[in-house]
Every structure is written in C-alpha cells, then in structure tokens.
Amino acid sequence: MNTAWSHTTVLLNEAVDALLGAPGAAAAGTYVDATFGRGGHSRLILSRLGEAGRLVAFDKDPEALAAAAGLQDPRFSIRHQAFGQLGELPAASLAGVLLDLGISSPQIDNPARGFSFRFEGPLDMRMDTTRGHSVAQWLHTAELDQITEVIRDFGEERFAGAIAKAIVARRQERGPMSSTTELAQLVADTVKTREPGQNPATRTFQALRIFINAELEELQQALAASLDVLAPGGRLVVISFHSLEDRIVKQFIAQHATDPYDRRAPFAAPRVMKLKALARIKPSAAEVAANPRARSAIMRVAERTDA
C-alpha cells in the first residue's frame, strides 16, 4: 500500500465504545459499519465481537471493497452499496449502526480520484467510479443557476454566483474543464478574498463532491432507515466532518428524542419517542495534533428506545 494514501481513523476507540459499550465481555448481535473505508472501525469492532456476533459493512467505493477482501473473518460481510440502502436490512435486526461520514484520506490523496485541488487529476470526485456522472461531465451540461445553487447550498460559498459564471464562461470559450487544477485555478482567479489558511477552492470542491455523490440525501435516507433496522437498545453512532452533515444528524436525533410541548393542545397524548440522545463527542487535542483532518469531527450518539 502506498503510505501516502493510508487512512487514520478518526475517533476510533470512542466510536467503537459508543457502539458496543465499554470494553469487557465479547459483544453479541449484528452491527453495521456503514462506511467501511479502509476498515479501521470494522477491524476494532471485530476484535471485540464474540463468536455469535456479526458485522455487515457498506461501501460504494471499489477501492474500499478491494481493501475489505483482505479481511478474512466469517463474521464479516460487505455490500457494494451506498449506506442510504441501510433500510434493505431486516427490521429491528441490528444492535448498532456506525456512520463515519465524509471522505477518506486515500480518496483525497490519490490524484486519480479527482477529489483534491492540491493535485493534478481528472475532475471526477465520484466515490463509486463504476456508475454515475463525474463532476467534469456534470459541469459540461449544467445550467448557470444549477451550478450556482450547488456551490452556494453545499459549499456555503458566498461567491457561488461569480464562480458559476466563470465556469460557464470558461466552458463557452474553451470547452469543458477536465482537471482539478484547472477548476482550482479558475476559482482562485474569481474569489479574491478567503479565510486565512483556506484555499479559495475549498468550498467549491466540497460542494461539488457532496452533490455528485448525493451525500446529504443518502445521510437522510440512512438516518430514517436506522429507526427501522435498529432493535430496541441499539446504538446509532454518527461522525460528521462539516456543519451541513452535523446539522442533519443533530436535528434528526432531536426530532425523535424530544416531545415538543404544543400549547395549542396541552392535553394531547405525548408523542412516542424513538431515540434517546446519549452523547456529543469531539476529538481530543492530542488526536487533532496527530491527525489534523480530525479537527472538524463531531460524533453524536443515540439509542433506539423500546417504542
């Protein structure tokens, strides 16, 4: 393995402890690692499962599936699917679901994947390279308003309109863009001010990646499905890396873990709660110092109630 493309799992022990409980007796039941990546969480989960325990992993990246092929354990299986398809598992069959969102270091650091503005590579950004359209293909045909909306909504980019106009003008003058560095330079030429220490293309690349992979839609699907597939007492553990993801997770847990008091119907029967919020955890200073990519991570933990 190219060490430059290795991956350091964020909140490794904290996530597995939240999923399985504190280390001790071997865990039983069936668990899901919904984003296998390079298997950091999966390997630790398996080390703490008993013989009757099972781990089902999901990942849509063919490179992740190749990495999983080396994990020879009869208790483990992996599905070449997006985690949005979590609901295909049997109802109330799971003791825990772990969602480690975002993008992995091997995806960022491999120029051939086209995720990073730091390297020359094809403007792709698909997590599943076997299907769907690349960013380059989408930008070649998307309307100005569509491009503006994606960069504004998924990148929280205040210069979205100017960037979209520059992309369309570039397309009309010289044809479609095909490389990451072309797009990064176009954004840098368009955005004249930016937060200190942040590349001008950061928000645009984030927005296009989230859009082309339907990341937020899949997250919403997986969260909704978790209510069906988790057994009572089962844990939901979600690690997010930017505010759009965390906002969705936070609101979802709050929606199903609290009973808002309606002054218009003070004697109405209380709503049945489906989740109990347990924790919000961030990486320690030591972990962030050792792995700067952990700095924005937030882990939220909830438990399925008996409802």
pLDDT of 194 reads 75
Q: What is the CATH number of the domain that holds 77?
A: 3.40.50.150
Cα separations in angstroms, 26 against 39, 47, 95, 99: 20, 9, 13, 22
106: amino acid identity, one letter: P
Q: Find the range with the poorest average confidence among 11-25, 69-83, 159-173, 278-292.
A: 11-25
For the record, the structure tokens of 249 come out as: 């997770």
Q: Which of 212, 236, 266 is the last residue of a domain?
A: 212
Q: Which helix (H) or strand (E) holds 33?
A: strand 30-33
Q: Are residues 142 and 208 in the same domain?
A: yes
pLDDT of 270 reads 58
Q: Are residues 194 and 255 in the same domain?
A: no
CA pair distance 301, 307, nearest whole angstrom: 18
CA pair distance 96, 234, nearest whole angstrom: 5
Q: Strands 298-304 and 94-100, how do they pair?
A: unpaired
Instruction: For residue 259, tell me if it sits in a domain.
Output: yes
CA pair distance 58, 86, nearest whole angstrom: 8
Closest CA to 102 of 262, 199, 178, 215: 215
Torsion on CA atoms 14, 18, 20, 24, rounded to nearest 10:
60
pLDDT of 282 reads 96
Closest CA to 154 of 63, 67, 216, 70: 216
CA pair distance 206, 235, nearest whole angstrom: 29
- pLDDT tens column, 188-215: 999 977 777 788 999 999 999 999 999 9
Instruction: For residue 113, tell me if it sits in a domain.
Output: no
Q: Are residues 157 and 78 in the same domain?
A: no
Instruction: For residue 74, tell me if it sits in a domain.
Output: yes
| φ/ψ of residue 253, rounded to 5 | -65, -45
pLDDT of 259 reads 63
| φ/ψ of residue 294, rounded to 5 | -85, -10
Query: Using alpha carbons only, what angle is made at residue 203 by residues 221 and 58, rounded to the nearest 5 degrees?
Result: 30
Q: In this structure, are residues 138 and 212 in contact, taking their beta carbons and an 8 Å threshold?
A: yes
Non-local (6+) Cβ contacts of 204 within 8 A are: 151, 155, 157, 163, 183, 187
The model's pTM: 0.90
Q: Which of 179, 212, 245 is the last residue of a domain?
A: 212
For the record, the structure tokens of 245 come out as: 């993801």
Q: What is the CATH number of the domain that holds 133?
A: 1.10.150.170
pLDDT of 261 reads 55
Whether the per-residue pLDDT at 266 is higher than 70: the answer is no
Structural domain count, the chain: 2
Instruction: For residue 232, tell me if it sits in a domain.
Output: yes
CA pair distance 282, 14, nearest whole angstrom: 9
Phi-psi group of 73: left, alpha or beta (phi > 0 → left; psi -120 to 50 → alpha; rest → beta): beta
Instruction: For residue 117, tell me if it sits in a domain.
Output: no
Q: Which of 212, 235, 254 is the last residue of a domain?
A: 212
Range of the domain at 202: 129-212
Cα separations in angstroms, 107 against 61, 62, 115, 118, 127: 9, 11, 7, 13, 8
Q: Are residues 166 and 101 in the same domain?
A: no
Instruction: For residue 278, tell me if it sits in a domain.
Output: yes
Q: Are residues 169 and 258 in the same domain?
A: no
Instruction: For residue 94, tell me if it sits in a domain.
Output: yes
Instruction: For residue 84, tell me if it sits in a domain.
Output: yes
- pLDDT tens column, 227-250: 999 999 999 999 999 999 999 999
